[in-house]
Amino acid sequence: MIQRYDSLTATLAGKVPDGVLLAFVRVVLAGIFWRSGQTKVEEGTWFQVTETTYELFRTEYAGVPLPPEFAALAATAAEHVFPALLVAGLFTRLSALGLLGMTLTIQFFVYPEAWWPVHSLWAALALVLVLRGGGWLSLDALLARGRC
């Protein structure tokens, strides 16, 4: 019985399942922030930040220690660029670290009551990617193979 369990564990910890799992984590984390970013831009535009977004950063998100106009632009850009990079698996660790920083900023300066269950889950997803990278199903892996 223990040998069967060990065999199953070894199979699940293999390269293929690991790469698929990391790709799934990349897409899930990217989806969370991409959808948030989409609420900040005018529908039908590439990157026209809405007046509502600026107002949110002046009022509800006023605790963020950055000028509201800059914070609105930076958050909107980050919520589009980092998720796109995550889906591609390009600069995965850096992108996940950026989203982890955003998560912690939201946690400490905007919604401190939301650690459990929301922000803790976002942080966990980001930390997996920071520590493990994008996996073999990523452009990071393709580029690394090219350097060898």
Chunked into runs of 10 residues, the chain (148 residues) has average pLDDT values of 89 87 98 98 95 98 97 98 98 98 98 96 98 97 86
| pLDDT at res. 44 | 92
CA distance 41 to 107: 23
Over the Cα atoms of the chain, what is R_g?
Answer: 18
112 DSSP 8-state letter? G
pLDDT at 16: 85
Per-residue pLDDT, 14? 83
Nearest to 79 by CA among 110, 124, 118, 49: 49
Residues 6 or more apart from 70 whose CB is under 8 A from it? none
Residue 10: per-residue pLDDT:
85
Q: What is the pLDDT of residue 148?
A: 62
Which two tokens mark 60? 């509800």
Quote the tokens at residue 119. 């922000």
Amino acid at 19: G
Residue 85 C-alpha from the chain's centroid? 9
Phi, psi of 41 (to 5 degrees): -115, 155
What pLDDT is stored for residue 40 in this prediction? 98
| Residue 84 CB-density burial (10 A; 0-12 exposed, 13-18 middle, 19+ buried) | middle
Contact 40, 50 (CB under 8 A): yes
pTM for the whole thing?
Answer: 0.92
